[in-house]
């Protein structure tokens, strides 16, 4: 019994000593790791150099996320050492935040990850939430891998890059020091390369840090400016003059020929594709809208993007469309005013043309003066004595009211009706002078009216459209116009035809460029113009699937072309300036002002007649002295 008790004490004593012994071995092991890995500080120093030089200039906050899932003793020491070194040696202008939330929960876009393997990366649960924001994330991954297993090593790289590609993050760099090597490698990935265009991830070593120097002066490369002749599918909506397709939309051979694509947006897209060494595969679908319970369902190019049948969509697309929140939106590459389209003012009738030169108040004053004159003449004829009547009108003027209208119209009076006494002659001369001035003024105004204004004035504001009971033709109801004055018409061209041909007060909405193209195509029959009050500026953009990696590449090209004025030049190529100013052309026909140069022929005729008159006058003076000359002149008369 005593012997058994002795062995129990020995066993308990061993159990008591074993944790202390293990703890000491663990501490000694960590100290040995720290001493033996002399390149640990070099590892941290390279990280500090890259962060300071290539990240600190673009942000004031760096997010650092760190984890370790398997064999963490050595890797945790690496991570702790690197973190402490960064906190002690980074410039005070760059803040470090150890935050483990989702990337879109914070305003900073630069992230550094400290991981030992692909499984550590997955343990971070790194993801990009689906939302309306468009942001370019930059991820610098420090991979602390030590095993001499190249297959597993590249599998980890491939897994990390595939995860980033799934979230459409292209600015990803992995830094790692290969085992038993004296340099640090920087890896990135591409999905369009010279030897493959099937969007598979291709790992590339893009940079190397060796002997204290970096081979290339960048951390994040400029991705995807060269697609190496790869092909992208683009869904297009034919809407001239933005997108014009010279071919059969159902013919596959025609769709492969990108030269058949024309128009403002078509030419811009071809130019961008040429600069990026990119091939385009067209997919033309009707981009219409359907209404169900007041909401628009995805059809046409929208559903192609949602189902990944196309990489991008183009053709009169705007960020103001109701479904734009579902897609990534590019930089605006063309802008056109969005206006109400109406039929130009109808031509004035003959009576209206005669009444238009003078304002209603002027016609009222003339009519009032005539009424007063007629009443005064009638009172003199009825109540005045014959002597007074003869004194005012003349002894032979038996129809003064008739003579009043005859002289007003500019017709001559019979000589027998002209009064012989001074007072009556004074009244007659005053009346004739007033009529002469009035006729000259009216004829001058009538000339300008017939020359310049041939149509009734059109509404100039949206409020006038509503007041004049114009009905809006549109393909869906909106808040732009009263619902009781809105009629649904799906086809855009049919809407303009209805407005142009109908006698009703109809209006439609469209881009000013589309109206100008319609007027240019139907120049001999169109009478369409637009309301001067603009609804808004229509920005033409491209749609991409949400968080598409292609967005940044196309945005940089669009901005470059726009800043150089190339997009504006392409826009002017498809629309003649005459049809831009449709309202002025419709009303004024661009008639120039009458100048002295226009009247030069009249001046020559007047000068010739004056010279001839002077010559005849001189001959008449000479005829008093020369009898034969007088006979010749009498004969000519």
- CA torsion sign, 294 to 543 to 105 to 95? negative
Q: E strands of 27-133, at which residues?
A: 61-66, 95-97, 110-115
Q: Is the same domain home to 411 and 545?
A: no
* Structure confidence at residue 436 (pLDDT): 86
Residue 186, strand partner residues: 175, 207
Is 500 domain-assigned? Answer: no
* Structure confidence at residue 624 (pLDDT): 78
The 10s digit of each residue's pLDDT in 162-187 is: 988 888 888 999 998 887 788 899 99
Is 65 domain-assigned? Answer: yes
Is 479 domain-assigned? Answer: no
Nearest by Cα to 70 from 114, 110, 116, 102 = 116
**Residue 25 clears pLDDT 70, i.e. is over it:** no
Residue 536, strand partner residues: 338
Our CA angle for 610, 611, 616, nearest 5°, is 95
Q: Is the same domain home to 39 and 168?
A: yes
Q: Which of 451, 471, 505 is the last residue of a domain?
A: 451
- pLDDT band for position 335 (cuts 50, 70, 90): very high
Say if CB 402 and CB 395 are below 8 A apart: no
Which tokens sit at 595?
Answer: 């100048």
- Chain-centroid distance of CA 453 in Å reads 34
Measured between its terminal Cα atoms, the distance across the chain in Å is 175
- pLDDT band for position 453 (cuts 50, 70, 90): low
- Chain-centroid distance of CA 567 in Å reads 11
Q: How far apart are CA 70 and CA 48, in angstroms?
A: 26
- Return all residues near 174 (Cβ < 8 A) that are at least 6 apart: 141, 143, 157, 160, 161, 186, 187, 188
Give the CATH number, domain containing residue 267.
Answer: 3.40.190.10
The 10s digit of each residue's pLDDT in 105-143 is: 565 688 888 888 888 888 776 666 566 667 788 999 998
25-39, 244-258, 356-370: the lowest-pLDDT one? 25-39
Which tokens sit at 516?
Answer: 């100008």
Please state whether 421 falls in left (phi above 0), alpha (psi between -120 and 50) or beta: beta
HEC letters along 592-636: CCCCCCCCHHHHHHHHHHHHHHHHHHHHHHHHCCCHHHHHHHHHH
* Structure confidence at residue 566 (pLDDT): 92
- Chain-centroid distance of CA 442 in Å reads 48
- Burial profile 119-140: b = 16 or more Cβ within 10 angstroms, e = fewer: ebbeeeebebeeeeeeeebbbb
Say if CB 521 and CB 528 are below 8 A apart: no
Q: What would the DSSP string read from start to end of 243-299?
A: BEE-S-TT-HHHHH-GGGEESHHHHHHHHHHHHTT-EEEEEE-----EEETTEEEP-
* Structure confidence at residue 442 (pLDDT): 86
* Structure confidence at residue 299 (pLDDT): 63
Q: Is the same domain home to 273 and 417?
A: no
- Whether residue 241 has a cis bond before it, omega within 30° of 0: yes
Q: Is the same domain home to 292 and 208?
A: no
Is 522 domain-assigned? Answer: no
Long-range contacts of 464-471, Cβ-Cβ distance < 8 Å, separation of 24 or more: 464/531, 465/340, 465/342, 465/507, 465/531, 468/505, 469/505, 470/342, 470/505, 470/506, 470/507, 471/504, 471/505, 471/506, 471/507
**Residue 71 clears pLDDT 80, i.e. is over it:** no
Q: How far apart are CA 456 and CA 529, in angstroms?
A: 13
Give the CATH number, domain containing residue 139.
Answer: 3.40.50
Is 164 domain-assigned? Answer: yes
How confident is the prediction for the chain on average, in pLDDT? 79
* Structure confidence at residue 19 (pLDDT): 40
**Residue 393 clears pLDDT 70, i.e. is over it:** yes
- Most confident region among 304-318, 452-466, 577-591 by mean pLDDT: 304-318
Is 341 domain-assigned? Answer: no
Q: Is the same domain home to 38 and 81?
A: yes
The 10s digit of each residue's pLDDT in 541-568 is: 999 998 888 898 899 999 999 999 999 8
Nearest by Cα to 61 from 23, 99, 28, 32 = 99
**Secondary structure (3-state) at 370:** helix
pLDDT greater at residue 74 or residue 481: 481
Q: What would the DSSP string read from start to end of 373-429?
A: HHHHHHHHHHHS-HHHHHHHH-TT-S-HHHHHHHHHTTPPPPGGGS--SHHHHHHHH
Which tokens sit at 499?
Answer: 């407005």
Q: How far apart are CA 583 and CA 46, in angstroms?
A: 67
Q: Is the same domain home to 101 and 170?
A: yes
Q: Is the same domain home to 376 and 287?
A: no
- Return all residues near 392 (Cβ < 8 A) that are at least 6 apart: 380, 384, 423, 424, 427
Give percent of the chain with pLDDT exceeding 90.
Answer: 19
- Return all residues near 98 (Cβ < 8 A) that are at least 6 apart: 64, 65, 66, 83
- Most confident region among 312-316, 422-426, 432-436 by mean pLDDT: 312-316
Q: Is the same domain home to 287 and 202?
A: no
Nearest by Cα to 505 from 530, 471, 455, 533 = 471
- Return all residues near 58 (Cβ < 8 A) that are at least 6 apart: 110
Which residues form the domain of 612?
Answer: 598-634
Total-model pTM: 0.69
* Structure confidence at residue 480 (pLDDT): 82
pLDDT greater at residue 509 or residue 287: 509
Is 266 domain-assigned? Answer: yes
Q: How far apart are CA 544 and CA 6, in angstroms?
A: 80
The domain total for the chain is 4
Say if CB 68 and CB 75 are below 8 A apart: yes
* Structure confidence at residue 264 (pLDDT): 93
Task: Please provide residue 360's backbone torsions phi and psi, each rounded to the nearest 5 degrees.
Answer: -55, -35
* Structure confidence at residue 36 (pLDDT): 41
**Residue 465 clears pLDDT 70, i.e. is over it:** yes
* Structure confidence at residue 368 (pLDDT): 92
Q: Is the same domain home to 43 and 155?
A: yes
Q: Is the same domain home to 280 and 425?
A: no
The 10s digit of each residue's pLDDT in 197-246 is: 766 788 989 999 998 899 999 999 876 678 888 889 999 988 888 999 99
* Structure confidence at residue 558 (pLDDT): 92
Q: Which of 163, 192, 214 is the last residue of a domain?
A: 214
**Residue 612 clears pLDDT 50, i.e. is over it:** yes
Say if CB 516 and CB 579 are below 8 A apart: yes
Q: Is the same domain home to 184 and 59?
A: yes
Our CA angle for 591, 592, 595, nearest 5°, is 145
**Residue 330 clears pLDDT 90, i.e. is over it:** yes
Say if strands 471-474 and 506-511 run parallel, antiparallel, or are unpaired.
parallel
* Structure confidence at residue 384 (pLDDT): 80
- pLDDT band for position 289 (cuts 50, 70, 90): very low
pLDDT greater at residue 16 or residue 463: 463
Q: What would the DSSP string read from start to end of 493-562?
A: HHHHHHHHH-SS-EEEEEEHHHHHHHHHHTTTT--EEE-SS--EEEEEEEEEETT-THHHHHHHHHHHHH
Task: Please provide residue 140's backbone torsions phi and psi, each rounded to the nearest 5 degrees.
Answer: -110, 110
Q: How far apart are CA 308 and CA 301, in angstroms?
A: 10
* Mean pLDDT, residues 133-156 taken together: 81
**Alpha-carbon Rg of the chain, whole angstroms?**
45
Is 527 domain-assigned? Answer: no
Q: Is the same domain home to 180 and 38?
A: yes
305-319, 383-397, 398-412: the lowest-pLDDT one? 383-397
* Mean pLDDT, residues 253-259 taken together: 88
């Amino acid at each position: 019994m005593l012997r058994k008790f002795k062995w129990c004490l020995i066993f308990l004593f061993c159990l008591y000593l074993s944790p202390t012994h293990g703890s000491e071995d663990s501490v000694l092991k960590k100290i040995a790791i720290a001493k033996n890995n002399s390149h640990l500080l070099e590892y941290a120093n390279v990280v500090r150099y890259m962060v300071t030089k290539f990240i600190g200039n673009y942000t004031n906050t760096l997010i650092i996320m760190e984890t370790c899932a398997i064999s963490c003793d050595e890797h945790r020491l690496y991570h702790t050492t690197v973190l402490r070194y960064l906190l002690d040696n980074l410039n005070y202008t760059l803040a470090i935040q150890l935050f483990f939330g989702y990337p879109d929960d914070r305003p900073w876009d630069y992230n550094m990850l400290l991981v030992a393997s692909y499984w550590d990366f997955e343990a971070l649960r790194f993801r990009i939430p689906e939302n309306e924001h468009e942001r370019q994330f930059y991820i610098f991954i420090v991979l602390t891998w030590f095993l001499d297993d190249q297959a597993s090593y590249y599998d980890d790289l491939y897994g990390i890059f595939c995860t980033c590609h799934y979230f459409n993050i292209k600015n990803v760099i992995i830094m790692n020091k290969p085992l038993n090597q004296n340099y640090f490698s920087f890896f990135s990935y591409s999905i369009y390369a010279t030897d493959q265009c099937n969007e598979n991830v291709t790992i590339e070593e893009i940079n190397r840090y060796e002997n204290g120097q970096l081979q290339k002066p960048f951390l994040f490369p400029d991705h995807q400016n060269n697609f190496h002749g790869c092909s992208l599918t683009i869904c297009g909506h034919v809407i001239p003059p933005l997108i014009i397709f010279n071919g059969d939309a159902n013919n596959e051979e025609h769709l492969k020929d990108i030269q058949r694509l024309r128009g403002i947006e078509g030419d811009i897209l071809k130019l961008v594709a040429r600069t990026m060494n990119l091939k385009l595969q067209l997919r033309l679908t009707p981009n219409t809208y359907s209404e169900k319970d007041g909401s628009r369902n995805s059809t046409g190019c929208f559903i192609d993007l949602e189902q990944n049948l196309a990489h991008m969509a183009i053709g009169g697309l705007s960020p103001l469309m109701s479904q734009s929140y579902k897609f990534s939106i590019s930089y605006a590459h063309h802008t056109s005013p969005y206006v109400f389209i109406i039929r130009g003012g109808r031509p004035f009738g003959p009576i209206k043309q005669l009444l238009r030169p003078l304002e209603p108040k002027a016609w009222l004053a003339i009519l009032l003066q005539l009424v007063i004159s007629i009443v005064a003449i009638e009172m003199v004829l009825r109540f005045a004595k014959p002597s007074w009547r003869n004194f005012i009108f003349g002894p032979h003027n038996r129809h003064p009211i008739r003579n009043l209208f005859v002289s007003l119209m500019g017709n001559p009076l019979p000589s027998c009706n002209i009064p012989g006494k001074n007072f009556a002659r004074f009244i007659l001369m005053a009346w004739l002078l007033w009529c002469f001035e009035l006729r000259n003024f009216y004829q001058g105004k009538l000339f300008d009216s017939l020359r310049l204004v041939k149509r009734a004035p059109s509404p100039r504001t949206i409020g006038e459209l509503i007041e004049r009971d114009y009905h809006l033709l549109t393909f869906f109801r909106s808040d732009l116009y009263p619902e009781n004055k809105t009629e649904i018409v799906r086809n855009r061209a049919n809407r303009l035809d209805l407005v142009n041909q109908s006698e009703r007060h109809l209006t439609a909405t469209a881009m000013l460029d589309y109206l100008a193209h319609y007027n240019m195509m139907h120049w001999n029959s169109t009478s369409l113009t637009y309301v001067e009050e603009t609804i808004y500026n229509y920005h033409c953009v491209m749609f991409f699937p949400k968080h598409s990696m292609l967005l940044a590449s196309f945005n940089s090209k669009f901005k470059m072309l726009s800043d150089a004025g190339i997009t504006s030049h392409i826009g002017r190529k498809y629309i003649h300036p005459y049809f831009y100013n449709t309202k002025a052309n419709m009303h004024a026909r661009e008639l120039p002002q009458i100048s002295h140069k226009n009247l030069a022929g009249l001046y020559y005729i007047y000068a010739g007649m004056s010279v001839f008159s002077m010559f005849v006058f001189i001959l008449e003076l000479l005829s008093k002295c020369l009898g034969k000359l007088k006979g010749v002149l009498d004969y000519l008369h």
